[in-house]
Amino acid sequence: MSLPHRLSLLAVVVLALLGGSATPASALRLGAMDPAYSTLQPRLFDADVRLLRPQVLRTNLLWTEIAPTRPRRPRNPGDAAYRWDMADYIVRRADAAGVPILVTIWQTPSWAYGTRVRSIVGMPDVRAFRDFVAAAAERYSGSFDPDGPTGGLEPLPRVSQWQIWNEPNVYFYPQREPAGPRGRIVNARNYVRLLNAGHDEIKAVGRQHRFDQVVVAAGLAGARGRLLPYAPLRFLRLMRAYRPRFDVLAVHPYNVAPWLGAQEGVAGRVTRAPNLAIGNIGDVLREVDRLWPRRRVPVWLTEFGLQTQPSRRGVSPGAQARFLADSLRILRRYPRIGVAIWFLVKDQPLARPGQHHTWQSGLRFADGRRKPVFDVWRRAQISRKVPVPGRAPEPKPRSPVAPSPPIVPTPTDPPAPDVASSAR
């Protein structure tokens, strides 16, 4: 055997002994999401974007806030009923920073309820949802000028990554019809109807304006106890029966045993299929391949993170830092995991009695001090030579009601958490 062949064989043996693989390393994009910090303290958030160099920013496009009343021309993004100011502000800032944005459309306004379940996470009227998605996709197609050719504003930037709903296996009602444990499971069927409607509208706008749109499905969260029938891998099987249309599948692998860190799920420790954690993320890929063979469906983590003390389910700041480092090592073993979005740059202030609980998974404490995980993140990005985002200028105001969220050094009152964080 020649020397080159011997060296090749030796490399294969070493990889096998180390538990490695000859598969190329994942081009994992590390992203961030922080609804409160990005809107209540935008200048500080933008400064952290320049320090942290996220490769994607995720934001919510809440239908309840954009359209609190029924628009007369729902497919027209310029309809007077729509309130896009905050969304425009966020999209412009992300574009100015040079960071791609992932927009998650969810929450049903009261005028659009489609079933007897009257809830912001209830099934909406599909036609109303389709019209809203069409308006949103057109507004952020890169061609829409909100004040026309004679106004002072530039056309709005393009958004090419869209997620339909958030954690629909847990926060999408009704779950059964009739209600109760003996009812037939309907949330997966209803979700696929919504997903396919949104998918078709987004793709149509992409074709019209000649650019590729990415439609992200789900954002499946862990489901235990009475919610076990809707656990992520079970929900996927239910979805598959209704022929969903999407480009990327999203999951949210939060810990139920925070002290285990990224080891939760390894060899079935605490978490195993049909639920998921960072440690058994491979189970998700295997199930996706079984359900959609030959498609090689990409999987994104559109939320993950680990809380620190003083949260009652928090770990030490050092343990949180180890969790991020270990998680990145695990995720980079899987080339099809293209995105991992950390939930919160800055801790939310602790909830007062009677308030929804808040979330403490930030890279900073609520008072602004950096946690050790902040530096783990920075080293991860610098080692991959992620460019520093550009400075995001404040958008020019159009009128006294133009988009300009309040800028405060530290909120006096805790920001109202979104449904995703308050429901965990």
Say which residues have a Cβ less than 8 Å from residue 295's Cβ, sequence separation at least 6.
none
pLDDT at 13 over 60: no
Q: Is 99 exposed, middle or buried (0-12, 13-18, 19+ CB in 10 A)?
A: buried
Q: What pLDDT does 206 receive?
A: 98
User: Using CA atoms, how far apart are residues 311 and 258, in angstroms rounded to an integer?
Assistant: 11
Q: What pLDDT does 390 receive?
A: 62
Say which residues have a Cβ less than 8 Å from residue 291's Cβ, sequence separation at least 6.
236, 237, 240
Say which residues have a Cβ less than 8 Å from residue 399's Cβ, sequence separation at least 6.
none
pLDDT at 407 over 50: no
- Structural contact between residues 282 and 337, judged by C-beta atoms closer than 8 angstroms: no
pLDDT band at 424 (very low <50, low <70, confident <90, very high): very low
User: Using CA atoms, how far apart are residues 63 and 282, in angstroms rounded to an integer?
Assistant: 34
The segment with the largest mean pLDDT, out of 12-26, 43-57, 408-422, is 43-57
User: Using CA atoms, how far apart are residues 129 and 113, in angstroms rounded to an integer?
Assistant: 10
CA distances from 254 to 74, 191, 275, 285 (A): 36, 22, 10, 17
Q: What pLDDT does 36 receive?
A: 96
Q: What pLDDT does 354 receive?
A: 64
User: Using CA atoms, how far apart are residues 151 and 159, in angstroms rounded to an integer?
Assistant: 22
Domains of the chain: 24-422 (3.20.20.80)
User: Using CA atoms, how far apart are residues 100 and 6, in angstroms rounded to an integer?
Assistant: 45
Write out the two tokens for 48: 């952290």
Burial 349-376 (b: 16+ CB within 10 A, else e): beeeeeeebbbbbbbbbbeeeebbbbeb
Give residue-wise pLDDT tens across range 199-238.
999 999 999 999 999 999 999 999 999 999 999 999 999 9
Beta-bridged to residue 217, according to DSSP, are 164, 249
Residue type, 52: L
Q: What pLDDT does 121 receive?
A: 96
Write out the two tokens for 316: 């030490």
Give residue-wise pLDDT tens across range 303-351.
999 999 998 889 999 999 999 999 999 999 999 999 999 999 999 998 8
% pLDDT > 90, the chain: 78
Q: What are phi and psi of 129, to 5 degrees?
A: -65, -45
